[in-house]
Structure 1
């Protein structure tokens, strides 16, 4: 192919396509012309890629074709309507679809943590083996309560937000492998069990539950949701529904996981605010726990009411589809709640 002759023959069309692509408004005739020139330019680009060794010309024409395609198809723009749909349909729907999974995770985690607290409280030598006698005494005297006032509230809130969002991201991303999710949950359950057991054994159960409950209800629910959604993605790979291929089932579950991941960033922002500003506040424990419980119940109502509505209005049925800990005082090597 004579490259110079080919370019000379079509250069005028390319210039015209460039001019039309740069205009803000086009008449009906100009829009039709733009589409026709775009199709020709795409053909020219295909010919040049297969027959021409001139990378500069190929790059130039590639950019022109991309600009023209963008002018034809339009560029998606963020809108408040999209944000509203995400908050009212996308996120609650994604969480509600996975409710059997994260409810099962929450039940198992609570039973395991409760057992560990009971066992460590009844066997002080176990707590000493984990943290040491002096560290346990320091934890009871001031370490546990002091953790929540160690830094300024805004700095503490930002640290908690990023830490817990990262933990949730690990649960979601590693869900398809199953084992890493259970390892992350075990680390957190062990942390809570040891710290809670130490506090209970020293007669400070009121301090432990009074300070962990205001933020822990929402914070741990966010972790349960992340783990449940991740495990749901794994199950879509292990046992896809009969109506879907394995790849399609994983893709659908993965899309729900992305929606859940984005929404959980906001959930952890709220729980971080509770932990930084409400948990250490000089208020009676009943008021602090009541505030945290109200926010937690509001989140559950939001998921159940809007999520059920979102799932009911879609064609997707609810069932189709290294280590970190939740940031907590006590075990400084892997701090959680």
Structure 2
């Protein structure tokens, strides 16, 4: 292939496409012309890459095509409107759609935690597996309470750790194994810890230290588990949609939940870092935890129900999801 000759023949069309793409305004005829030139130039670029891949020309055409694509399809600039819509519509709708899944995960996890706690208290072998008598005494008398060290560093550590785990739980949802493993281990660990404290007569201390931040934190964990399991179930039963379309729609909507839970866990982390281990009265700490939990569910149920009634799904708008092609004329 003679690249110079090819460029001489097609160069004017490339230049015309780039000139049209750089214009702030175009007539209907110019927009139609831009689309035709974009399609022709994309074909030319493919020919050059396969026959005579000159790096400089490939880069120049790729950049010109990117500008043309933006001019044809439009761009979405980040704005406060997008942020407001995400917080007030997209996120609460996504969480609202999995509210029953969240409730089911919550009940199953609480039941499993209680069973684990009772097992540790009633079975000497299970209790022994939690450590030697000296280790359990140190855990009950010192380590459990000292874990909740007030401060910004502790709050940030807890927040980042929990946010990462919930994101992984949702990301591995399609396997079905990831969320179940995550939820099972979380329930067993919490229940076993409660069992050790209960066996030593310190169940009240356990509940006082868990309740202020745990009400919201565990709800975030259960929501992440519900989102992951919903993705898995969509793969199993996509309904009237194709499996690929159903998975794409649900995964986009439910990864919204992962982003939103970062904020929820930031609140629970702040409570854990500044309230749980502080010198506040226990009743006030628990009230703060209850208020945070009530605010979360009010946000999900009120805004989520309103958004769903308006036809929102928590998914991206059609053009951003790639379901709507640019048209002109």
Normalised by the length of structure 2, the TM-score is: 0.86
Change (3 A) 1:7 1:248: closer
Aligned length: 313
Q: Distance in 1 between matches of 2:223 and 2:311?
A: 21
User: In the aligned structure 1, how far is the partner of 2:308 from the partner of 2:144?
Assistant: 42
Name 1:99's counterpart in structure 2. Answer: 99
Residue in structure 1 matched with residue 127 of structure 2 by the alignment = 127
CA change 1:67–1:298 in 2 (3 A) is: same
Between the aligned partners of 1:217 and 1:293, the Cα distance in structure 2 is 7
Q: Counterparts in 2 of 1:1-337, with a 5 A limit?
A: 2-15=2-15, 17-18=17-18, 21-22=21-22, 25-26=24-25, 28=27, 32=31, 38=38, 40-49=40-49, 51-123=51-123, 125-149=125-149, 153-241=151-239, 243-314=240-311
Gapped regions of structure 2 (runs ≥ 5): 315-329
Q: Determine if contact 1:20/1:30 at 8 Å carries over to the other structure.
A: no
1:327 is matched with which residue? none
Secondary structure of the structure 1 residue equivalent to 2:166: helix
Aligned residues of 1:128 and 1:136 also touching (Cα < 8 A):
no
Unaligned ranges ≥5, structure 1: 318-337
What do the CA deviations read for 1:177-215 (whole angstroms, capped 9, x no partner)?
A: 222322222211221122111111111122110110000
Q: Secondary structure at the match of 2:280?
A: coil
Alpha-carbon distance in 1 for matches of 2:4, 2:39 = 21
Deviates more, 1:98-107 or 1:38-47: 38-47
Q: 1:283 to 1:124 in 2, by over 3 A?
A: farther
User: Could you tell me the TM-score, scaled by structure 1's length?
Assistant: 0.84
Query: Once structures 1 and 2 are overlaid, which stretch shifts more, 152-161 or 270-279?
Result: 152-161
Is the alpha carbon distance of 1:15 and 1:167 closer, same or farther for their aligned partners in structure 2, counting shifts above 3 Å? same
Offset from partner CA, 1:14-43 (integer Å, 9 cap, x none): 4455455556x4565996575665455345
Q: 1:5 to 1:249 in 2, by over 3 A?
A: closer
Q: Shift in Å at residue 295 of structure 1?
A: 0.5
